[in-house]
Amino acid sequence: MKQMKVEGGHKLSGTITISGAKNSAVALIPASILSDEPVKISNIPNISDIDAINEILNYLGAKVTRSEDYMEIDASQIENKEIPQNISTKLRASYYFMSALLGKYKKVEMYFPGGCSIGARPIDQTLKAFELLGAKVVEEDNKYTITAEKLKGANIYLDMPSVGATVNAMLVAVKSEGITTIDNAAKEPEIVSVATFLNQMGARITGAGTSTIKITGVEHLHGCFTEVIPDRIEAGTYLIAGALIGDQLTIQNMIPAHIEALTNKLSEMGYPLTIKRDSITISAIDNKKPVHIKTLGYPGFATDLQQPITALLTQCDGKSILEETIYENRFKNIPYLNQMGADIVIDGQKIVINGKTPLKGSSVTATDLRAGACMILAALIAEGTTTITAIEHVLRGYENIVEKLKSVGAKIDLEEI
Ligand code: EPU
């Protein structure tokens, strides 16, 4: 087990380079098994969620070559066998194999996926899409056996614009006979990246990035090359670090349009930002205005940046309100922020942050990935040293976070316990 030690109060200046997006890479890798030929993917982040997704590829017998951020995947000879519970529960994205295997073999057996404990996270919309496309779903003790005699295009209306359900529906629909439409589809950049990848393999998908995606099924998908898009949540997290304690901190190799909801809120608080084609530069300011934030699907304010920005809201002058509309249980960071000196009240799915309050170093826990990012951000401005346990949650999703923050001036280290 590891813990992180952060000594607060050190200015951050210089440049942080953003890695490939976790939530794009964990979808592209399972999608690759739909191809009958080898595919190549670059800009893959070196994080433990990628190791977990690769474990499934290896378990199925895919031939995988990985060097640095590059992977070549040959899934032409894989064996479609049951994916056991101890592997499927390692991450949420394991269920992209449910759809990829169903699309490829018309049969899949696997368990309920894992992921951060931030809400119930049902998979009903994914299962509904599978059934509409002609599959039969049998669930017994958390194990799903999904079979189809024939996969046939259908009209799928998602009750909410779920990222996972949209990707899963696309992965089956590309191999279903005829035309599928997905209405109320998620519009996140990660959806566009999966659709572009599948189209490069020979799929026929239009409308990705809008609420209606149309897919015309094809029989074969061929080899191709793609690059993982920059991680907008990683970029947003470091931008918040710069807002807290930056002195001309530049976040580069990112797509500013992907985090406009965040940059708009920073502007509302009073931050001047230098936004270029693929970078943003920010410095800390005094007298930040409080704001009202509501999480929404893209292009709204990302729930994955909700916990990180809470650290910054503790430093605004006055009352900020933050509403979480996506997950029921994404406030586990709040007791720890309060322990460090924040004044935050939880009121159902809303929090009220009374700022500005000085923060003091303390012993806290990363209860989940983005809660851990929030604790690191708070620790960067706290007086004294903060120890963060269960830091493995953060290492699942942020590549080289210690090295990246150290390189711009943070006093931060990992230690074995
Ligand atoms: N939902 C349902 N039924 C479904 C699917 C979703 O009720 O069948 C609900 C969920 O319970 C949740 C909401 O819809 O309340 C959104 O869920 P969604 O399916 O969109 O989320 P996801 O695909 O499981 C991905 C990211 C999350 C990110 C969300 C929202 C991956 C692997 N995960 O999750 O990332 O929060 O989209 O943008 O792509 C993270 O990186 O920290 C993370 C949690």
Q: List the residue whose alpha carbon is closest to atom 2 of ligand 1.
A: 122
Determine the pLDDT at residue 178.
Answer: 98
21 lines ligand 1 (CB under 6 A): no
Contact 254, 278 (CB under 8 A): yes
pTM of the predicted model as reported, rounded to 2 decimal places: 0.97
Kindly tell me if the per-residue pLDDT of 117 is higher than 90.
Answer: no
- Distance in angstroms (rounded) separating the CA atoms of residues 46 and 399: 6
Determine the pLDDT at residue 61.
Answer: 96
Determine the pLDDT at residue 411.
Answer: 98
Closest atom of ligand 1 to CA, residue 91: 32
Q: Angle 369-381/232-245 helices, nearest 10 degrees? A: 20
The two beta strands, 246-252 and 63-67, are: unpaired
90 lines ligand 1 (CB under 6 A): no
120 pLDDT tier (thresholds 50, 70, 90): confident
Q: Is 221 exposed, middle or buried (0-12, 13-18, 19+ CB in 10 A)?
A: buried
Share of the chain above pLDDT 70, in %: 100
Arithmetic mean of pLDDT, 348-355: 97
Determine the pLDDT at residue 382.
Answer: 98
124 lines ligand 1 (CB under 6 A): yes
Kindly tell me if the per-residue pLDDT of 337 is higher than 90.
Answer: yes
Arithmetic mean of pLDDT, 84-90: 91
Contact 279, 170 (CB under 8 A): no
163 lines ligand 1 (CB under 6 A): yes
Determine the pLDDT at residue 116.
Answer: 81
- Distance in angstroms (rounded) separating the CA atoms of residues 113 and 86: 10
303 lines ligand 1 (CB under 6 A): yes
Determine the pLDDT at residue 1.
Answer: 92
pLDDT tens column, 41-74: 999 999 999 999 999 999 999 999 999 999 999 9
Residues facing residue 16 across a β-bridge = 251
Arithmetic mean of pLDDT, 298-314: 98
Determine the pLDDT at residue 392.
Answer: 96
DSSP per-residue string spanning 61-122: T-EEEEETTEEEEE-TT-----B-HHHHTT-GGGGHHHHHHHHHHSEEEEEPP---SSS---
Question: Domains of the chain by range and CATH?
Answer: 2-19+230-416 (3.65.10.10), 22-225 (3.65.10.10)
Tell which one of 95, 112, 118, 121 to mutate to probe ligand 1, the residue whose CB is within 8 A of the most ligand atoms.
121
pLDDT tens column, 136-181: 999 999 899 999 999 999 999 999 999 999 999 999 999 999 999 9
Q: Tokens for 61?
A: 């017998």
First to last CA, the chain: 6
Q: Tokens for 227?
A: 């690059």
pLDDT tens column, 372-392: 999 999 999 999 999 999 999
pLDDT tens column, 125-138: 999 999 999 999 99
DSSP per-residue string spanning 38-52: -EEEE----SHHHHH
Share of the chain above pLDDT 90, in %: 96
- Distance in angstroms (rounded) separating the CA atoms of residues 137 and 148: 9
Arithmetic mean of pLDDT, 335-354: 98
Q: List the residue whose alpha carbon is closest to atom 40 of ligand 1.
A: 304
Computed over every residue of the chain, the mean pLDDT equals 97
Instruction: Name the nearest CA neighbour of 11 among 360, 311, 246, 282.
Output: 246
Contact 324, 348 (CB under 8 A): no
Determine the pLDDT at residue 119.
Answer: 84
Arithmetic mean of pLDDT, 239-245: 98
Arithmetic mean of pLDDT, 190-213: 98
Kindly tell me if the per-residue pLDDT of 80 is higher than 90.
Answer: yes
Determine the pLDDT at residue 115.
Answer: 83
Q: List the residue whose alpha carbon is closest to atom 36 of ligand 1.
A: 304
Determine the pLDDT at residue 171.
Answer: 98
